[in-house]
Amino acid sequence: MIEETGSFRDPAGKIFYHKNKVLRKLSASGKERFDFLIKEKILNKSIEKNFLINTKVFAGDSELKNDKNNLILEHENVPYISYPYEWSFNQLKDAALFHLDFNLFLLNLGATLIDSSAYNIQFQGSKPIFIDVLSIEKYKEGEPWVGHKQFCENFLNPLILKSKKGIKFNNWFKGNLEGIETDDLDKILSVFDKFSYNIFTHVYLLNKLDQKFKSNKSLKPINKKKFFSKKSLILILKQLKKFIANLEDHKSISTWDDYSKNNSYSELEENKKKEVVERFIKKNNFNLVADLGCNDGEYSELSLKNGSENVIGFDFDINAIDKAYQLDARLCIAYLTIELKGSIPEDLRPLIGNRIFGCDDCQLACPWIRFSKSTSTPDFQPRHSLDNATLASLFSWSESEFNTRLEGSPIRRIGYQRWLRNIAVALGNSSRTTEALVVLEEKRAVASPMVREHIEWAIARLNDHAAEVD
């Protein structure tokens, strides 16, 4: 059992590692918060909406046991831990918006976040996820936003610094792990900058109040119910969200941010390099790949497409990191329908449409395609009438039919289960017909758990569409 030294200050519970599991031993106060999350179903709802890291009560073993006074949680393992001072502008921006969205979501459930530390957010691929379950507690009417100052110093101030002044926050953040103090930012910003309502409120005014409090700690308490109603708090969070969403990165030209386009490789050499990387990745079933000097993430994307579960990109040029971050191969329809082995994320399913193997959008968009003509060459002719098949008829295939009819086709490599998964999503995105509902129901009874999940999603989606029409 190895303790996580970074959690020594947390009164709610200590993190430790045991047999490749991330565990958290709760204190009395931590257990009280967790009980509240379970009772109000906030834990499950937050996990289902992809706000919160997967968390459950640890099943225990001979060495560690749960009891009433010693509750242990098990958290999903994040492949790689990163820190806000390592993030690009858009990473920090997305994390800030995610934090605000999560707090708004919790307020609707009668809960709130008790702190606003950027260190409570990690990235799964390019998606932020909240990892500190015990930072959630019951909302009390009239309570001020206790994490306001911390949110500003961890998120808002670094973003304003880069957006308004073009000053990188990374080294500053690294030197002061608590973030960029409002007093320091206030001194840098011009009078013109402070004409912004949000900068005036959350930087200038907050700093004045903070300095006044430090110099006179006997200030009279504020009437909380008058100034900090839930309605007021929601309004503040929404205003901040709108302001941050409109902040743009003030970029300067860097050494390596366009290296993928302007380099010393010939086209032949570059293609050879890609072939070597592709062959190497396919040969080895890597769980985690490190892309050193990742630049815009081209080879990270190549690794993901060829079977790597996770890729971590490293580059000392923050502009390059930002380009790589904004290119997420896991959002590619080809990746979701072909390379992804498990469940397709629910929020991405509607975006796939009726595609069941890749997308070919590049061909649809290519202006030269309109000049193409049909060919009589046998190799390019549709097989097994796939050009006229309906989704429902394809979904009704047995595994033997799938293997027989797609023999010699690249589609066959995804296997029967992913074939059914993809068509279930496509059916869910199609029109509600009796035929579609019948084949979905027929397959649901015999489908694997992974496929059944997508079938049930499709049925629910079709029924929702019907209800909206009615």
The model's pTM? 0.68
Residue 223 has a pLDDT of: 52
The two tokens of residue 32 are 């009280």
Q: Domain check: are 6 and 70 in the same one?
A: yes
The runs of H, that is alpha helices, within 137-249 are 148-151, 157-165, 170-175, 182-188, 197-199, 206-215, 224-227, 230-245
Distances in Å between the alpha carbon of 414 and those of 6, 291, 347, 428? Answer: 42, 26, 22, 20
Domain that holds residue 450: 334-469
Contact 462, 436 (CB under 8 A): yes
Residue 97 has a pLDDT of: 96
Residue 123 has a pLDDT of: 92
**For helices 89-107 and 230-245, angle between their N-to-C axes, nearest 10 degrees:** 160
Q: Domain check: are 195 and 303 in the same one?
A: no
Q: Domain check: are 102 and 223 in the same one?
A: yes
Q: Domain check: are 411 and 456 in the same one?
A: yes
Residue 282 has a pLDDT of: 86
Residue 326 has a pLDDT of: 73
Q: Domain check: are 107 and 240 in the same one?
A: yes
Q: Could you list the pLDDT tens digit for every one of the 470 residues in the chain?
A: 677 766 666 778 888 888 888 999 898 888 999 999 999 999 999 998 889 999 999 887 666 765 555 789 999 988 889 999 999 999 999 999 999 999 999 999 999 999 999 999 999 878 899 999 999 999 998 888 889 999 999 999 999 999 999 999 999 998 998 999 999 999 999 999 999 999 999 998 888 888 877 776 555 555 545 557 899 999 999 999 999 999 999 877 777 666 666 777 787 888 888 889 888 988 887 888 999 888 888 888 888 878 888 888 888 888 878 877 776 667 788 889 988 888 998 989 998 999 999 877 777 667 666 667 777 787 777 777 777 889 999 999 999 999 998 888 889 889 999 999 999 999 999 988 888 999 999 999 899 999 999 999 999 999 887 665 55
Domain final residue, candidates 75, 97, 121:
75
Phi/psi-derived region of residue 244, left when phi > 0, alpha when psi is between -120 and 50, beta in every other case: alpha
Q: How many domains does the chain have?
A: 4
**Inside any domain, residue 136:** yes
Residue 222 has a pLDDT of: 52
Spell out the residues 6+ positions from residue 412 whose beta carbon is closer than 8 angstroms to its own. Answer: 402, 403, 406
Q: Domain check: are 219 and 122 in the same one?
A: yes
Q: Domain check: are 102 and 184 in the same one?
A: yes
Q: What is the CATH number of the domain that holds 327?
A: 3.40.50.150
Contact 247, 163 (CB under 8 A): yes
The two tokens of residue 246 are 């409109």
Domain final residue, candidates 75, 107, 132:
75
**Inside any domain, residue 251:** no
Q: Domain check: are 305 and 187 in the same one?
A: no
Q: Domain check: are 99 and 181 in the same one?
A: yes
Contact 82, 122 (CB under 8 A): yes
Spell out the residues 6+ positions from residue 464 whose beta carbon is closer than 8 angstroms to its own. Answer: none
Q: Domain check: are 97 and 231 in the same one?
A: yes
Rg (CA), the chain: 26
**Inside any domain, residue 252:** no
